[in-house]
Structure 1
Amino acid sequence: MFLAINEIRHSKLRYALVIGVMFLIAYLVFFLTGLAYGLAQENRMAVDKWNASDIFLSEKANDSLNMSMIDPDLANELAAKEKAVLAQAAGIIYDATDENKKQNVSFFGINSKEFLNPKVIEGKSFKSSGEVVADISLKKQYHYKIGDKVKLATNNEPLLIVGFTDNAKFNISPVLYTSMETFQTIRYGANSSFQPKTTYNAIVTRGKVSQQPKGLQKLSISKFIDKLPGYSAQVLTFGFMIGFLVVIAAVVIGIFIYVLTMQKIAIFGVMKAQGISSRFIANSVIAQTFILAVSGVTIGLLATIASALILPEAVPFQTNLLFFGVIALLMVLVAIIGALFSVRTIVKIDPLRAIG
């Protein structure tokens, strides 16, 4: 360690470049991880908010919430420790005072006395027809406030925002919670001549299910999330990107250390001639790699956290210190593994040939 630190102090610019390259790769990996995690969370936040065990869809829905249609009589036959019905539909809303201010949203029709009713962090829960509780991102990103009226782009039905909740996004869209009665109006319009009886898209349960009627398919919440459109493909894509970047970081740092080692063969030859063992020199190279990798990764992590503080609300970036810690550890480990190729060169150095 003493030799490694002294050498870094002696050649500051050379090793600063190595740290700089490691920093840039680490920053890119951490930033992509934050984006990947943020996008994944915005697909599933509203589902995680249920704290549920299972979800029931119609058998013919092919695991799709949008395609599932469940009759209320069938829902009543399902017996579980806790259950809640859910109706879901995607929609577009616009500000009642500005038609150009449009947002894609997801509507959740629920019963207010069941556990799907979200905790309101500002305002109150919906009670009357036409009232909705919205995700807080509509306030932070689009500047809506309690008491604002919005309209549906499909049928111009007015809705009143009476409260906000947090962590409520589904398929990257903010969720608007409302009653089943209002949901029917959202789906078909108040003045529509076609008003079928209420049907549900899903039944969400907590705990043991004691009776499951025919016609329903049971999915665990984790499997349901994996089946969300595009979710698995997105997670796999970012996972492979991050994995390859970690490997590239190992290769780059390994090449740098190898080149530096080759430049110092004569010096290592003199050290061996003086009786210094190959193990001591190899340990010094590994310690040097450890210092460089930890320095670059730490600076990259701090820069990522600082960037997260200034990113606009529209960027789906979320920090997860556990993920960042694991990736940081992996990058340091693979950098040390890359440096082991230099150790092989050190062991093979012949002092007489190296000196000249």
Structure 2
Amino acid sequence: MFLALNEIKHSKLRYALVIGVTFLIAYLVFFLTGLSYGLAQENRMAVDKWHATDILLSDNANDSLYMSRLDPKMLDQVKAKEKAVLAQTPGIIIDSKDDQKKQNVSFFVINPEQFLRPNIVKGKMFQETGDVVADKSLETQYDYKLGDKVKLATNDQVLTIVGFTDQAKFSVSPVLYTSLETFQLMRNGASASGQQSVSVNAIVTKGTPSETAGLKKLSIDDFINKLPGYSAQVLTFGFMIGFLVVIAAIVIGIFIYVLTMQKMAIFGVMKAQGISSRYIANSVVAQTFILAFTGVVTGLVATVLSALVLPDAVPFQSQPVFLAVIAVLIVLVAILGALFSVRSIVKIDPLKAIG
């Protein structure tokens, strides 16, 4: 460690460049990790809020929530610790005061007496037909307020925002929670009165549900993985981040190898003076650790600071466990790359190196 630190102090610019490259790669990896995790969460965070174990869809829905159709009365046939009906449909809302202000949303139709009821961070739970509870992003990003009225793009049905909840996005769209009665009005307009209740898409349960004819059970994890585009997105970012970690290690390894080759004569003199190859190799590994650790920590700090100034529209979320694992991987793989330099040091012949 003594030799490693003194050499870094002696050649500050040279090793600052190595740290700078490591910092840039680490920052890129951490930032992409935050973006990929944020995007993944915006696909699933409304589902995670259920704290459910399973979801039941119709047999012929091919594991698709949107294609599933169930009679709400089927809830009585399902035996589980807790259970709730759910209807989901995408939609476009238009500000009743500004026809140019449009937003893609996802409607979650629930029974407020069941466990899918969202937490309220502002306002109140929907009570009257036409009331909705919206994800807070509609307030923070799109300037909607309590009491605002919005129209559906499909039939000009007017809805009123009476409350806001948090962490409620599904397939990257803000979620609007509403009742079965409002959903019926959305589907059929004013002609809904006197008609039979509309179908729902799923039955969500806490605890393992009983087998029910016509229904297919999926665990929540399997259901999330089958969301359109979710698995492909996670795999794409996962491979990208993995390759960047490997590239970071290769770059650091190449720098250390080149620096080692430039110091062959010095190492030869050190060996001739009786300093062991093991001591020199340990100093190279220690030097690699210092450089990689400094670059990674600097990149991590820069990522945290960047997250503080990013606009709400950017789907960035830090996950400490992921960041810690990636940081450790970059340092470890960089040290493994430095072992190529160690092999060269062991093979140094003091007489040849001195010339």
Q: What TM bracket, shorter-length normalisation? A: over 0.9
Residue in structure 2 matched with residue 355 of structure 1 by the alignment: 354
Q: How far off is 1:192 after superposition?
A: 6.5
TM-score normalized by the length of structure 1: 0.98
Within 5 A, what are the aligned runs for 1:11-50?
A: 11-50=11-50
8 Å CA contact 2:184, 2:192 repeated in 1: no
Superposition map of 1:138-149 within 5 A:
138-149=138-149
CA distance in structure 2 between the aligned counterparts of 1:72 and 1:20, rounded to whole angstroms: 60
Shift of 1:125: 0.3
Tell me the SS of whatever aligns to 1:150: strand
How far apart are the structure 2 equivalents of 1:230 and 1:90? 16
Amino acid at match of 2:54: D
What SS does structure 1 have at the residue aligned with 2:83? strand
1:143 is displaced (CA, Å) by 0.9
Q: Which runs of no fewer than 5 residues in structure 2 stay unpaired?
A: none
Root-mean-square deviation over aligned CA pairs: 1.2
Q: Does the residue aligned with 2:66 lie in a helix, a strand or coil? A: coil
Q: Distance in 1 between matches of 2:309 and 2:106?
A: 28
Q: 1:121/1:193 Cα in 2 relative to 1: closer, same or farther (>3 Å)?
A: closer
Contact 2:71 2:200 in 1 (8 A): yes
Other-structure match for 2:216? 217
In structure 2, the residue matched to 1:80 is 80
Deviations 1:98-152 (A, max 9, x none): 1111100000110010000101011100000000000000011001111111111
Corresponding residue for residue 190 of structure 1: 190
Query: Displacement of 1:213 after TM fit?
Result: 1.8
How many residues align? The count is 355
Q: Write out per-residue CA displacement over residues 255-291 of structure 1, whole angstroms, 9 at most, x where no aligned residue.
A: 0000000000000000000000000000000000000
Q: What letter matches 2:223 in structure 1? A: F
Question: How many angstroms apart in 2 are the aligned matches of 1:24 and 1:220?
Answer: 40
- Which residue does 1:111 correspond to in 2? 111
Per the alignment, in what secondary structure is the counterpart of residue 79 of structure 1?
Answer: coil
CA distance in 2 between partners of 1:188 and 1:296 (Å)? 60
Counterpart amino acid of residue 219 in structure 1: L
Distance 1:96 1:139 in 2: 16
State the SS of the aligned residue for 1:285: helix
**Alignment match, 1:325:** 324
What amino acid does structure 2 have at the position aligned with 1:28?
A: L
User: SS of 1:85's equivalent?
Assistant: strand
d(CA) in 1 for partners of 2:233 and 2:157?
34
- For residue 200 of structure 1, what is the amino acid of its counterpart? V
Q: CA deviation at 1:71?
A: 1.2
**Does the aligned pair in 1 maintain the 2:53–2:206 contact within 8 Å?**
yes
Question: Within the alignment, does 1:240 sit opposite 2:239 as a pair?
Answer: yes
Find out whether 1:261 has 2:260 as its counterpart.
yes
- What residue number does 2:309 align with? 310
Query: Contact 2:75–2:84 at 8 Å: present in 1 too?
Result: no
Aligned residue identity for 1:122: K
Q: Give the distance between the partners of 2:255 and 2:72, measured in 1 at CA.
A: 67
- Asked whether 1:154 is paired with 2:146, we answer no
* 2:243 match: secondary structure: helix
* Residues 91, 104 of structure 1: 8 Å contact kept: yes
Check the 8 A contact 1:52/1:205 in 2, yes or no: yes
AA partner of residue 216 (structure 1) = L
Deviation (angstroms), 1:332 = 0.2
Equivalence for 1:344: 343
Cα distance in 2 between the residues matched to 1:189 and 1:353: 91
Maintained 8 Å contact 1:77/1:212: no
Q: Which moved more, 1:200-209 or 1:70-79?
A: 70-79
Taking the aligned partners of 1:268 and 1:215, their CA distance within structure 2 comes to 76
Equivalent residue number for residue 52 of structure 1: 52
Secondary structure of the residue aligned to 1:186 is helix
**2:7 matched to which residue of 1?**
7
Q: In structure 2, do the counterparts of structure 1 residues 115 and 193 end up closer, same or farther at CA, with 3 Å as the change threshold?
A: closer
Report the CA distance between 1:79 and its aligned residue: 1.4
Query: What is the identity percentage for the equivalent residue pairs of Structure 1 and Structure 2?
Result: 72
Letter in 2 for 1:350: D
Question: Aligned equivalents of 1:260 and 1:100: distance in 2?
Answer: 61
- Map of 2:129 onto structure 1: 129
Deviations 1:313-353 (A, max 9, x none): 11110011110000000000000000000000000000000
Q: Which stretch shifts more, 192-201 or 309-318?
A: 192-201
**Are 1:188 and 1:195, in contact at CA under 8 Å, matched by a contact in 2?**
no
Contact persistence 1:50–1:116 (CA under 8 A): yes
Deviation at 1:172, TM superposition (A): 0.2
Find the counterpart in structure 2 of residue 279 from structure 1. Answer: 278
Q: Separation in 1 of the partners of 2:195 and 2:172?
A: 29
Q: How far is the alpha carbon of 1:198 from its aligned partner?
A: 1.7
